[in-house]
A and B are shown apart, each in its own frame.
Chain A
Amino acid sequence: MKIAPLINQTTKVLPLTLAVAFGLSMGGCASTPVPHERMAVAEAAVARANSTGTSENAASELLVATTKLERARQAVIDKDNALAAQLAEQVALDAQVAELHAQSERSRKAAVESKDAARALSEEINRKPVQ
């Protein structure tokens, strides 16, 4: 937690190379805070995708999101916060993809039905016997 202000100070005072060397030596440390906000966004996105009947039309897409959310939660437990943040960001998009894919599927089915109805009407009218 003291690293960020320290870098700021040193960059002001010391040559850049020193700062970089220092930054690198500390790089990879668990200096990233727990991504609470991103996790919350990811959780909400998955919950939303789950509740809109997505499972019916985009089962595999939804599975990607839920599995990855599980990994993100595990990363938080493992204190791998950088990984958790990345996974959470991906989960939000994965959930959106699932939702949109389901919507697109529903629209596709509706379009097919609508076309079928138009065709059926045409056929029925053409078949109508001349009185």
Chain B
Amino acid sequence: MNIRLMSLLTLTAALVACASVPERNLALDQARGNFNQAEHDPQVLGLAPAELKMAKESLMQAQQAWISGSPRPTVDHLAYIASQRVVIARETASSSAYQRISSGAAAKREQVRLAARTEEANKAQQQLALSQQSNASKDEQVSDLEAQLKDLNARRTDRGMVVTLGDILFDSGKSQLLPGAQGNMAKLADVFKRNPQRTASIEGYTDNVGSVSSNMDLSSRRANAVMAALVSQGVAAMRLSAKSFGENNPVASNDTPAGRQMNRRVEIVFGPESVRILAQ
């Protein structure tokens, strides 16, 4: 049946088209050109392969009709179908390319916010280092704890002044203080020296990634690492107490990377003057 049908087709073609070589068909040439362009466009190739394949099939159909000498309107029609399928592939690809740009830009915004926060912290650190060098003579004037802690981005809370050490001071999952933390530790130790009556509670927190017990453990080790660093800088251990809170009391949502980063922290809470914070 197939062979018969094919010979029938061929014969029909030969009869319909007076010449043995079919006349050029502009619509088909155009469809072929459109397809070739799309096929060499990495965006279309990468983002709309299925649509491109359908366009190719339509083009082959049009080509076949042309070769077998189908009437011009039929070839024109099939060529038009092929061209439109190329357009469909192009539009599909550009749609998803733009969508990728959108999500990329959203990620960029998140990155910018994080970078800004980090830079703020770095700037504060630099400023303090500078003021330590050049303002040694003014040290005595700065007796107010709040003023002294300003450069450490301390917050006034109902529990007292709180200095937050971000998780950039630790390697992921580790409790060893990175060398970059030494500047902050020196500044904190200095504050303790200038305020001999002050005691502080050192509190470790994590985000909610991982088990509750491992987070509790990590926050405990980090709080103790900060405490050890302060003791090694000359702060009396009896003035300090380390506590671990794990993933409790988050300061931001754990649903975003930025929020989780903010939750991974060690807080140093300065108690009211002359009142001991009880070690647990």
Residues of chain A at the chain B interface (Cβ within 8 Å): 11, 16-17, 19-20, 23-24, 86, 89-90, 93-94, 96-97, 100-101, 103-104, 107-108, 110-111, 114-115, 117-118, 121-122, 125, 128, 130
A16 touching B11, Cβ below 8 Å:
yes
Query: Of A93, A103, A108, A122, which is within 8 A of B112 by CB?
Result: A122
Instruction: Name which residue of chain A comes closest to B92, CB basis.
Output: A100
Q: What's the Cα separation between A121 and B111 when bound, in Å? A: 11
Interfacial chain A residues near B85, Cβ < 8 Å: 93
Q: What's the Cα separation between A22 and B139 when bound, in Å? A: 112
A-B contact pairs, 24 of them (CB 8 A): A11-B4, A11-B8, A16-B4, A23-B12, A24-B12, A86-B73, A86-B74, A89-B77, A90-B81, A93-B81, A93-B85, A97-B88, A100-B88, A103-B91, A104-B91, A104-B92, A104-B94, A104-B95, A111-B101, A114-B102, A118-B105, A118-B108, A118-B112, A121-B112
Q: What's the Cα separation between A123 and B105 when bound, in Å? A: 14
B84 touching A101, Cβ below 8 Å:
no
Interface of B is mostly: helix
Most buried by B among A101, A103, A107, A128: A107
Min CB distance, B192 to chain A, in Å?
A: 25
A97 touching B87, Cβ below 8 Å:
yes
Interfacial chain A residues near B278, Cβ < 8 Å: none
A121 touching B109, Cβ below 8 Å:
yes
Asked if B106 is at the interface of the complex by the 8 Å CB criterion, the answer is: yes
Interfacial chain B residues near A114, Cβ < 8 Å: 101-102, 105-106
B123 touching A107, Cβ below 8 Å:
no
Give the number of chain B interface residues (Cβ < 8 Å).
Answer: 33
B12 touching A90, Cβ below 8 Å:
no
Instruction: Name which residue of chain B comes closest to A109, CB basis.
Output: B98
Q: What's the Cα separation between A11 and B7 when bound, in Å? A: 11
Interfacial chain A residues near B99, Cβ < 8 Å: 107, 110-111
